[in-house]
Amino acid sequence: MPGWPDLRADVDQPGRGCRPGRGTNLGVASVYSRNHGVCLRAPVLSAMIPVMAAAPLMRSITDDEVESFWRDGVVCLRRVMPIEWLECMADPIEVALADPLTADLSQMGADLAAGAGATVLIDEAVDVAGVRSPGSGRFRAGTDHWQRDPAFAAFAGDSPLPRIVARLLGSTKINLYEDSVLVKEPGTPERTAFHQDMAYFHVEGTQVCTAWVPLDPVTPSTGALEFARGSHRWERTFRPNLFVTTMALPDTEGEDVPDARTQRDWDLVSFDTEPGDITVHHARTVHGAGGNASATARRRAISVRYTGDDARFRHRRGAPSKAHHGSMGEGDVLDHEGCPVVFVDG
């Protein structure tokens, strides 16, 4: 491929940084440059190299963790993500943040407030900490980076993530629905509005989840996610919202998500995490996050959203569409190059 060094000789060097996956269904290989000590990834034709499953697990996922996921709608998995994978994603995240397709949600919130009267959700803790100044912290988010950057494709397809979610979901097959970069810079005042991921997906099924992978230590004061425990079992359908405001996407199905702070019967849980820890939540679990009240610490995270055996295409009115959705029919199995299979058991 033009522009990419041929580093295939370096693939799978034992003890190297990134655990390389080779020849995923995404058609990329991850490679580690011995010379530069940095991660490079070269797109290669999957036909040229054997198809392999996702990287092996650092440790097994316990029955208790699987039970917590299904009971609470969320589980925090400690020390499951090799640090090398996180280090590999540091530069691609900066590239993603510079991509015009990545949204500045802080700006979007200000525009919605000025133009449409939306109320932006501001975290008072950020004001109390005195770290907010005009134009200071930004909340930026993008989607479908894997389609543009082989580094993200390798992260979603070749890292341990597909194998982890296969175990949690009890699924023999895992499809990649999408990925997102979600960064709250120091002093970001905007909360993430509570929402249900399923409201944004053209999918029906019980085996659907999001793996939230932080690259930095995260606490509630820097923007740890908060989950309404057990909400994946509520028989309620919520409208997707615009993430920094409760304003719903137009023409969408369901009820508005109520303000979590007024819902006394919601059992909110969040987790302090270190790099290597991840949370995985069910796509129906209601969740949100605070701002980032730190003056110095960034909160960088990558969410990867996966589906399992029972997921089927279901057009959801008003929800964000992907290019291939036009060719999908109600009830179709999701397998498509726009929603690739990234793991098959056995």
Ligand X SMILES: O=C(O)CCC(=O)C(=O)O
Longest Cα separation, the chain:
58
Contact 122, 59 (CB under 8 A): no
Instruction: Label the pairing between strands 139-143 and 173-184.
Output: antiparallel
Q: Pick the closer one to ligand X by CB: 20 or 137.
A: 137
Q: How far is the CB of 250 from ligand X (least distance, A)?
A: 20
Q: Pick the closer one to ligand X by CB: 26 or 244.
A: 244
Per CB under 6 A, which of residues 288..327 are in contact with ligand X? 289, 301, 303
Q: How far is the CB of 210 from ligand X (least distance, A)?
A: 5
Size of the site for ligand X (CB under 6 A): 12
Tokens at residue 300, please? Answer: 């960088």
Contact 84, 17 (CB under 8 A): yes
Q: Pick the closer one to ligand X by CB: 8 or 233.
A: 233
- Asked if 193 is part of the footprint of ligand X (rule: CB under 6 A), the reply reads no
- Asked if 146 is part of the footprint of ligand X (rule: CB under 6 A), the reply reads no
Q: How far is the CB of 184 from ligand X (least distance, A)?
A: 7
From 80, 154, 182, 244, residue interacting with ligand X (rule: CB under 6 A): 182
- Asked if 197 is part of the footprint of ligand X (rule: CB under 6 A), the reply reads yes
Q: Pick the closer one to ligand X by CB: 29 or 168.
A: 168
Q: How far is the CB of 277 from ligand X (least distance, A)?
A: 15
Per CB under 6 A, which of residues 213..272 are in contact with ligand X? 223, 225
Q: What are the distances in angstroms from CA 151 to CA 27, 277, 298, 319, 337?
A: 12, 20, 21, 27, 17
Q: What are the distances in angstroms from CA 149 to CA 34, 179, 208, 308?
A: 21, 11, 24, 24
Q: How far is the CB of 301 from ligand X (least distance, A)?
A: 5
From 41, 132, 202, 287, residue interacting with ligand X (rule: CB under 6 A): 287
Task: Name, in order, each residue with C-beta under 8 angstroms of 340's C-beta and a sequence gap of 6 or more.
Answer: 25, 26, 157, 175, 176
Q: Pick the closer one to ligand X by CB: 28 or 215.
A: 215
- What is the end-to-end Cα distance of the chain in Å, rounded? 32
Binding site for ligand X (CB under 6 A): 180, 182, 192, 197, 210, 212, 223, 225, 287, 289, 301, 303
